[in-house]
Amino acid sequence: MRPTPAITRIPRRRSLPIRLAWTVIVVLLAVVLGCVGIAVYVGWSLTHPDRQKLSDSPDKLGIHYHQVEFQSRTKDVTLKGWFLTGTEPLAGMTIIIAHGYNTNRLQMSAQGIKLAKSLVERGYNVLMFDFRNSGESGGSLTSVGYFEKHDLLGAVDWVKARQSGDKIGIIGFSMGAVVALIAAAEDPSVAGVVADSPFGNLKAYLEENLPVWSNLPNFPFTPLILNIMPRLTGIDPNGVDALSAVDNVYPRPVLFIHSVNDRSIPVTNSEAMYNKHPDRFELWKTDNEGHAKSHAADPQTYEEKVIDFFGKLK
């Protein structure tokens, strides 16, 4: 009787390639999920920055003031600030100061309280306040202009109600400059704007410059953040568009101030807006280092230009 021949098993040649394929898929999935997680964390941090506490007050400079609070025009946030009374209130104008991203009404990088003092000494009333999620105001989200527009319009409403007859001017820094232009475009009671270091359009700006704020490589994180965060926060970057807004500010005057050495928001942003209406807009290009620091670099010249600008609006 012949022995039963042994069964020869054919090796599974596909098993190794399949395992490798699955390994690659798992690794890629982990990388994608990791990038998404980082993008969400950083995007959330950028829209929920820690508040900067107030470290100064007008009384330290001998300025008469009182505490104020009012509602954003959308009535969803209570905002707090100071109303500084002009030493010779003959100017007939109240100037609102709109601060930048991740700071407060003091705008320390620009020595905002000293700028306010110079305005008060010339007879101007000054309203300094904190945007939502800043300083002492309510709210928990910083939208880089999208919702802050309503805060500044609430400040305009407060001035119109309490200082009836006063003309209204606005000085804005960085994000606050963008908000000032957008708010002025919507409310004709704003007589003129000083826009210090604004960007033109938030989406276009972030597509090129988000790594400056996120400290992440542009790809893949910028597209991820810009696609994910609007869904989580309700912010529409296309809705923060000062470049278009200036057409509705015109023919009211705007003074743009921007350093040619600004690495956070390039001076080309202000140039693009100024060039749309150079017959009514002014552009003062400074050469100091840093972002929105032109007042701190040369207070005397800065104050003279600002006071001259508002003096023409009386």
Instruction: DSSP for 162-216, please give it.
Output: HSTT-EEEEEEETHHHHHHHHHHHH-TTEEEEEEES--SBHHHHHHHHHHHHH-S
Q: How far apart are CA 196 and CA 182, in angstroms?
A: 14
The predicted-structure confidence for 257-306, as pLDDT tens digits, reads as follows 999 999 999 999 999 999 999 999 999 999 999 999 999 999 999 999 99
Report whether 94 contacts 163 (CB < 8 A). Answer: yes
Length of the chain: 314
- 4, part of any domain: no
Residues 214 and 303 in one domain: no
Give domain status of residue 3, yes or no.
no
Do 221 and 298 lie in a common domain? no
pLDDT of residue 9: 59
pLDDT at 190 over 60: yes
- Does residue 87 fall inside a structural domain? yes
pLDDT at 91 over 70: no
pLDDT at 194 over 80: yes
Q: Is 275 exposed, middle or buried (0-12, 13-18, 19+ CB in 10 A)?
A: exposed
Quote the mean pLDDT of the chain: 93
**Amino acid identity for residue 39 in this structure:** A
Give me the numbers of helices (H) and strands (E) for the chain, helices first please: 10, 8
pLDDT band at 17 (very low <50, low <70, confident <90, very high): confident
pLDDT of residue 13: 55
Q: How far apart are CA 269 and CA 254, in angstroms?
A: 14
Lowest mean pLDDT among 97-101, 185-189, 228-232, 288-292: 228-232
Q: Are residues 279 and 191 in the same domain?
A: yes
| Beta-sheet strands, E only, within 218-280 | 254-261
- Residue 25 tokens read as 């898929």
Q: Does residue 2 form part of some domain?
A: no
For the cut 90, the answer to whether the pLDDT of residue 8 exceeds it is no
Q: Which residue type, as a one-letter code, is found at position 11?
A: P
pLDDT at 135 over 80: yes
Give yes or no: residues 132 and 216 share one domain.
Answer: no
Q: What is the CATH number of the domain that holds 93?
A: 3.40.50.1820
Residues 157 and 252 in one domain: yes
What pLDDT, on a 0 to 100 scale, did the predictor assign at position 18?
A: 85
Q: What's the rounded mean pLDDT across residues 24-37?
A: 84
> Between β-strands 125-129 and 254-261, what pairing exists: parallel, antiparallel or unpaired?
unpaired
Higher pLDDT, 4 or 78: 78
Mean pLDDT to the nearest integer, 116-138 = 97
Q: Is 120 helix (H, G, I), strand (E, B) or coil?
A: helix
Please say whether the beta carbons of 107 and 99 come within 8 A.
Answer: yes
With 60 as the cut, is the pLDDT of residue 161 above it? yes
Count up the domains in the chain and report the number. 2
Pair (75, 154) in one structural domain:
yes
Measured CA to CA, the distance from residue 39 to residue 45 in angstroms comes to 10
Distance CA 208, CA 120 (A): 39
Question: Which of the listed residues 216, 239, 262 is the one where a domain comes to its end?
Answer: 239
Rounded CA-CA distance 204/242 in Å is: 11
- Report pLDDT for 270: 98
pLDDT of the residue at 25:
84
Q: Give the Cα separation of 95 and 83 in Å (integer).
A: 10
Q: Range of 234's domain?
A: 15-47+202-239
pLDDT of amino acid 24: 77
In this model, does residue 44 exceed pLDDT 80?
yes
The residue-averaged pLDDT of 27-53 equals: 90
> What is d(CA 144, CA 174) in angstroms, rounded to the nearest whole number?
10
Q: Based on the fold, state whether residues 82 and 210 are members of the same structural domain.
A: no
CB 260 within 8 A of CB 287: yes
Which range (40-44, 132-136, 153-157, 199-203) has the least confidence?
40-44
Determine the average pLDDT of the residues in 2-12.
57
Same domain, 282 and 164: yes
CA distances 167 to 148, 154, 158, 311, 314, Å, are 22, 16, 13, 11, 7
Q: Based on the domain organization, do 136 and 211 belong to the same domain? A: no
Q: Is residue 29 scored above 90 in pLDDT?
A: no
pLDDT at 2 over 70: no
Amino acid at 306: V
The C-alpha atoms of residue 224 and residue 314 are separated, in whole angstroms, by 48
